Amino acid sequence: MIKVYQKVILVVLILIGMMLGIYFRFFKRPPLDQILAANVVFSDVEHEMYDYIESKESGEEPVMDEVMRSKIRWEIWVRAMNYVSIGTLFNKCNDTRKVTLGKVILMEDQVRGGLKLRTYLNVTFDKDITAGRIFLACQYNGNDIYSKDWDLCTLEKEIKPEDRIINCPVSKGKRRFVKDLKIPNYLPKGHFIARAWVVDQHNMEIGCGFADFQI
């Protein structure tokens, strides 16, 4: 009888060891400051950014197109706020001449603990938006894990109108949005990439975003 108990205990200990191994390999996250530090990426427009700052300080308007100007302005803002940027929002996806419209920031969730994403978006619509769709595709460690699309105007139907980003119809003109998204604590450690894009009632692309981060 004792030998039977010993075998049962041995099996239980092996299972516990396997579970702990899986936990520490996939789910035990580093401290938040280490995660944030690991996601700091240096800008690829360092030289242009300093030229822009020097021109502004000397009272001159920097000579550059809107593509570069928008990129530099958002980079300067991210640094001034001491934020960790892990994504960028553009006016279009598949074009090298895309204008930067916003940033996705990785930060500590001081209310619920853990991490959250905060999206900042400044955009000018040149026409009213009465309908549309939003598409999302996600990867984990190089593998496709999620893909879905939603109706743009009903995506936030469970949220109070005053707290929504989109309330259709959206009138043309300038808009500023700030949106928080909690990163679930059950997400495993690893490399995540997300891509989202939005089309209007004419199936024309009106925005695109990318995020790339490690937890």
What is the domain partition of the chain in residue ranges?
A: 30-214
pLDDT number for residue 2? 52
Average pLDDT over residues 189-212: 92
> Which CATH number is 30-214 given?
2.60.40.770
pTM over 0.85: no
Higher pLDDT, residue 5 or 117: 117
Query: Which phi-psi region, left, alpha or beta, contains residue 67 (left: φ > 0; alpha: ψ -120 to 50)?
Result: alpha
Which residues lie below 8 Å from residue 16, measured CB to CB, with a gap of 6+? Answer: none
pLDDT number for residue 3? 53
**Coil/strand/helix, residue 177:** strand
